[in-house]
Amino acid sequence: MPPFRILAFVGIMLLTGSSSGVYARGGFGGPPGLGLPGVPGGIEGPQGGFGLGRSFGLGGPLLGTGLAAHQSALSARLRGAGSTVKHLVTLPSQAATAISRTVARDEVGRPADSTIVSQVLAHDAQGHEVVRSEIVAISPTSADLAVAKRLHFKVLRRDRLPALGLVCITLRAPGDMTTIAALTLLRHADPLGNFDYSSIYNPAGSALPSANSEAKPISVPAGEMTLGMIDGGVDRRHPSLTRSHITVRTFAGGDKSIPTRHGTAIASLLVGFGRKYSGYLPGANLYAADVYGGVADGGSAVDIARALNWLAKHHIAVTNISLAGPPNMLLAAAVRAFIRTGHALVAAAGNDGPAAPPNYPAAYPGVICVTSVDVAKRVELDANRRHCKFAALGVDVRAAKLPRGYGKFTGTSYATPVVTAHVAELMQKPDVVVLRHMPSMLLRRATRVRGGDARPLYIIGLSGQSQPRSIN
């Protein structure tokens, strides 16, 4: 479907409220205790109770926060859907359908066709995208699984995450029960269990490059340093990356990673090393986790948790994640375990605007949150600011573009690699003590400015400050 027809179709859905999940409902909090943050759930309206003989609809249609999140998710899907790739798109097991066609893809390689997306994704009570009909159980007990079985939930997959000390079990909701109703039912039937949606996370910024720029990141050789990256697939054939040692593993879809605009640009900023281009740590080793895999439900909390486990297993000290989304119990538990074992996670703040709620994983305790500024040290207009102490250049940043060449990119996604490089210079192996002192170590390299909300902001990596250097 051409991009202009997709936009027209989305516009009709928003005006009529006919799209699944557009209606934002009031919700119930998560389970008590256990130190895991609850994510508000909700019950569908009159059309979607859970067979108890009456309607359980709460709230009205198109509430502000739900609509805003829904529109934001749709915008993320449609940005840059101009390129097409001949590919077999395999929907999740519950869809039991394979679609072979020329598919317009977004910046991280997911199908941008709204027909495909609507078959595999739904929305939570706040309008955030979630995998349709799937609920994740975080390290459930046998009693938790017994409750789910009595309610006719089926186990879709079991993921053991030993490096994080977690187990994740993905459950399929019974019959045609909505995803919101399924989570609410489980939480009420088993209030001590840890259940949540399989939330979807999106890139933080635009991957549509503008005209080429002669400017390039300031950098020096990176020696034998190794970084981690959680993003879309990387085109290792791009001239900026052919000399870099990049290990790729896919955590969504099949085993084959699909090169993406966003993943390739971020990789080039981290470790790119070409004839006329240099990333911040040129030639460093990169472990790249593709959490999208070219499928519509890629980028879920489950995919990211599995990627974190892989990076922790390989003792990758510092990982860049230029993705953002809602709070999620599985993601919170995985990030907490990752950091507790001395691994640094540097995350993009997101691009929902300065007054928007915080994004995750950037807002979780211990994560190094990065927002975006321009060369004049002014905060990017649509950059998230809450819970963020650090900033870096993220406006008109030169990075690799597909299929070849370089372009200028803007967003907190493209600011994050600057801080990742500095953290990697300061910590070459997982270290709980060093990680605990990392914020104060970064402050010594930063320039203090006043942010747009009058709170101080500490800018890393612009001229006049320390740049990453090689560790020999």
**pLDDT for the residue 321:** 98
Residue 193 has pLDDT above 80, yes or no: yes
Under the banding of pLDDT at 50, 70 and 90, the label for residue 452 is low
Please state, in angstroms and rounded to a whole number, the distance separating the CA atoms of residues 320 and 104. Answer: 27
Judge whether 116 and 89 are in contact, CB under 8 Å: yes
**Which region holds residue 223: left if phi is over 0, alpha if psi is between -120 and 50, else beta?**
left
* Cβ(426)–Cβ(317) below 8 Å: no
pLDDT reading at 326 higher than 80: yes
Cα–Cα dist 321/266, whole Å: 9
111 to each of 22, 200, 236, 369, how far by Cα in Å?
20, 14, 21, 29
Q: Residue 387: what pLDDT?
A: 84
Given a cut of 50, whether residue 341 has pLDDT beyond it is: yes
With cut-offs at 50, 70 and 90, classify the pLDDT of residue 264: very high
Confidence at residue 386, expressed as pLDDT on a 0 to 100 scale:
81
How sure is the predictor about 344, in pLDDT bands with cuts at 50, 70 and 90? Answer: very high
Domain boundaries, the chain: 3-199, 202-459
- The strands making up 456-459's β-sheet, listed across from edge to edge, are 246-250, 285-290, 226-231, 318-321, 344-348, 368-373, 390-393, 456-459, 447-450
Q: Please tell me the least confidently modeled range out of 188-192, 314-318, 384-388.
A: 384-388
The half-sphere exposure of 370 on its side-chain side, counting CA atoms within 13 A, is: 34
| pLDDT at residue 388 is higher than 80 | yes
Instruction: Say if residue 61's pLDDT is above 70.
Output: no
Q: Following DSSP, what letter does each residue of 94-163 receive, concatenated?
A: TT--EEEEEEEB-TTS-B--HHHHHHHEEE-TTS-EEEEEEEEEES--HHHHHHHHHTT-EEEEEEEETT
For position 15, what pLDDT does the model report? 39
Quick one: pLDDT at residue 327? 98
| Beta bridge partner(s), residue 169 | 137, 158
- Is residue 174 within 8 Å of 153, Cβ to Cβ? yes
Given its phi and psi angles, is residue 310 left (phi above 0), alpha (psi -120 to 50 degrees) or beta?
A: alpha
Q: What is the pTM of this model?
A: 0.78
CA distance 221 to 273: 9
Mean pLDDT of 349-366: 94
> Among 44-48, 111-115, 300-304, whose mean pLDDT is lowest?
44-48
**Average pLDDT of the chain to the nearest whole number:** 80
Q: What percent of the chain has pLDDT over 90?
A: 63
Query: What does the pLDDT read at residue 275?
Result: 83
Higher-pLDDT residue of 37, 390: 390
pLDDT higher for 268 or 32? 268
Confidence of residue 155 (pLDDT cuts 50, 70, 90): very high
For residue 355, CA distances in Å to 37, 122, 199, 351, 382 come to 22, 26, 22, 10, 9
pLDDT band at 92 (very low <50, low <70, confident <90, very high): very low
What are 161-181's pLDDT values in tens digits?
999 999 999 999 999 999 999
- State what percent of residues in the chain have pLDDT above 70: 72
How far apart, in whole angstroms, are the C-alpha atoms of residue 33 and residue 11?
42
pLDDT value, residue 48 = 33
The backbone torsions φ and ψ at residue 76, rounded to the nearest 5 degrees and listed phi first, read -60, -35
In the prediction, which pLDDT does 102 show?
Answer: 56
According to DSSP, the residues that pair with 398 across neighbouring strands are 408
Output 214 or 305, whichever has higher pLDDT. 305
In sequence order, what are the residues at sequence separation of 6 or more whose Cβ sits closer than 8 angstroms to the Cβ of residue 378? Answer: none
pLDDT at 282: 92
- pLDDT score recorded for residue 7: 43
Mean pLDDT of 226-231: 97
26 pLDDT more than 80: no
Question: What average pLDDT does the segment 374-392 reach?
Answer: 91
Query: What contacts 13, CB < 8 A, 6 or more positions away?
Result: 19, 22, 114
Whole-angstrom distance, CA of residue 154 vs CA of residue 94: 11
Spatial CB neighbours of 227, under 8 Å, sequence gap ≥ 6: 270, 271, 281, 284, 285, 286, 287, 316, 318, 319, 320, 420, 424
Phi then psi for 469, rounded to 5 degrees?
-130, 165
- Helix and strand numbers (H, E) in the chain are 11, 23
CATH 2.60.120.620 assigned to domain 202-459? The reply is no
User: In this model, does residue 56 exceed pLDDT 70?
Assistant: no
